[in-house]
Amino acid sequence: MEADFVIVGAGSAGCAMAYRLSEAGASVIVIEHGGSDAGPFIKMPGALSYPMNMKTYDWGYQSEPEPHLGGRRLATPRGKVIGGSSSINGMVYVRGHACDFDTWAEMGADGWSYADVLPYFKRMESWHDGGHGGDPAWRGTNGPLHVTRGKRDNPLTRAFVEAGRQAGYPTTDDYNGEQQEGFGPMEATIWQGRRWSAAEAYLKPALKRSTCELIRAHAQRVVIEDHRAKGVEVLRKGRTEVIAARREVILAASSINSPKLLMLSGIGPAAHLAEHGIAVVADRPGVGQNLQDHLELYLQMAATQPVSLYKYWNLLGKTFVGAQWLLTKGGPGASNQFESAAFVRSRAGVRYPDIQYHFLPIAVRYDGQAAAEGHGFQAHVGPMRSKSRGAVTLASGDPMAAPKIAFNYMSHEDDWRDFRACIRLTREIFAQKVFKPFAGHEIQPGKAVQSDDALNDFIRDHVESAYHPCGSARMGRADDPMAVVDPQCRVIGVEGLRLADSSIFPQITNGNLNGPSIMVGEKAADHILGRAPLPPENAAPWINPNWQISQR
């Protein structure tokens, strides 16, 4: 039970690394606690609300009671299945804004500016524009990860983009290209009508090589001798075993489980480890800190015409959609239904977008609950760069126990201001002329909710996680006391140990995190192999020339 590299976690970054390391001829063992991704609930894009609520596929974590959200505990789903969260997510594909990665570099992640990461985004993509335009020069066409666009044949989906234009915002053919800011088509990791997870793109091809093996086990801790990682202790079929790494151990177990594993292995804040009787190998106070996420609200409108997906929101309709998808891989089930998007700035003086929209031609919750009163549509909206920070800590020294997850959501006053702006800007968009034939009354928040206090009450009661946790083991310079990994993804203070997943983000990126998480795996693989990184590409992103004086 040994290999050159032992990777903990078959998620977005882990699958990418397994593929690239085994491609280079190294032997790789991937440890994954979850099981197979077979079955229609994962494969069918339209069924996306199911797998994240199934114990089979999800770790089932939730936050501690959140003090600024009235003590609510928020669901924190993380994929427990091959492909990790890329097998249970909404399949939305966003690279992040160029300025996000330039900020990483400024924060000490040398070599991770946009110029540095753009070649990796290109390397990983097989981009299909579906005849909707876009930026071919900025995109990749030969990578393992298929990125596609929905048909956008629902009139509401098109109306949303036109409403943005009527409200004075720019439109963009490709928010993953030169210009993120504006309204336009949304992209998804869907291929030929099926979810195209990191398992489909990277892990399954890697497992066809003799150099890559997948082992189902629960990682307990990293085995460290003389400050060097030697392997991983796992619980497998009821027995404790050690899987040895000849070259390196690589953690890619998520922004929740990677810091937990570091702490169980003696790497973390010394006083916190001592509380749980864990011997300190490396005192790294940043482990588990700097936890970030995106929150979002659903603004829902009733529709005056039967144009939404509500007609399928019954047993017969769902049966029809499921049967059509099983037979043809087409129909509504072949789309995640997030087919139009927008990135806008909340106010003048904000240099690049800090609000994201997902538009959905039905009024329903992300978890598939509480379909609203008949036909409707909704926008998921939320700020991108919350100043609130939380932490992942150990609840106990027992590897089987869930960690404590405290996001500390909405703890900064600016977050409330930004969310109120989100609601008011969305109402203005839905009030545009193009929506007049479709828009009925406002279901949620409801037109009575207008004052700052009333909006704050609505936000406190209704805000939900967008399921983008990250940053809990951040990358920085080796002399930064709060950094956990250096810019080569090496865990500071231990030899032969790396960490590469969304934990290492110094700051959360714009949009959904699956794309940047896979990119981290792609780039980390080159560092692990000792290769020179791909040459930087100095493509200048579009920044609104009037950003200092206007909101749009």
Tell me which residues are annotated as active site.
Answer: 468
If 0-12 CB within 10 Å is exposed, 13-18 middle and 19+ buried, where does residue 482 land? middle
- From CA 389, how far away is CA 366, in angstroms rounded? 24
Cα dihedral: 27, 123, 14, 44 (round 10): -120
Residues facing residue 241 across a β-bridge: 234
- From CA 292, how far away is CA 466, in angstroms rounded? 11
Residue from 460, 402, 469, 464 nearest 67 by CA: 460
Contacts of 457 (CB under 8 A, 6+ apart): 449
- Do residues 498 and 454 make contact, with C-beta atoms less than 8 angstroms apart? no
- Residue found under tokens 């700097």: 290
Q: Is residue 89 a known part of a binding site? A: yes
Half-sphere exposure for 384 (CA within 13 Å, toward CB): 26
Q: How far apart are the first and last CA of the chain?
A: 58
* DSSP secondary structure of 340-380: EEEEE-SSTT--S--EEEEEESS---TTS----SSSEEEEE
DSSP, collapsed to helix, strand or coil, labels residue 57 as coil
Q: Is residue 91 a known part of a binding site? A: yes
Please state, as a whole number, how many other Cβ atoms lie within 10 Å of the Cβ of residue 416: 17
The DSSP call for residue 68 is: G
- From CA 491, how far away is CA 127, in angstroms rounded? 33
Compute the Cα dihedral for 20, 125, 351, 428 and give only its sign. negative
Q: Is residue 538 a known part of a binding site? A: no
- From CA 357, how far away is CA 387, in angstroms rounded? 19
Q: Is residue 28 a known part of a binding site? A: no
Bridging pattern class, strands 212-216 and 28-32 = parallel
Distances (CA, A) of 412 to 14, 68, 88, 356, 415: 33, 9, 30, 19, 6
Q: Is residue 81 a known part of a binding site? A: yes
Bridging pattern class, strands 228-236 and 218-225 = antiparallel
DSSP, collapsed to helix, strand or coil, labels residue 410 as coil
* DSSP secondary structure of 116-135: HHHHHHHHHEEE--TTS---
Q: Which positions make up the binding site?
A: 81, 89-92
Which segments are annotated as binding site for FAD? 81, 89-92
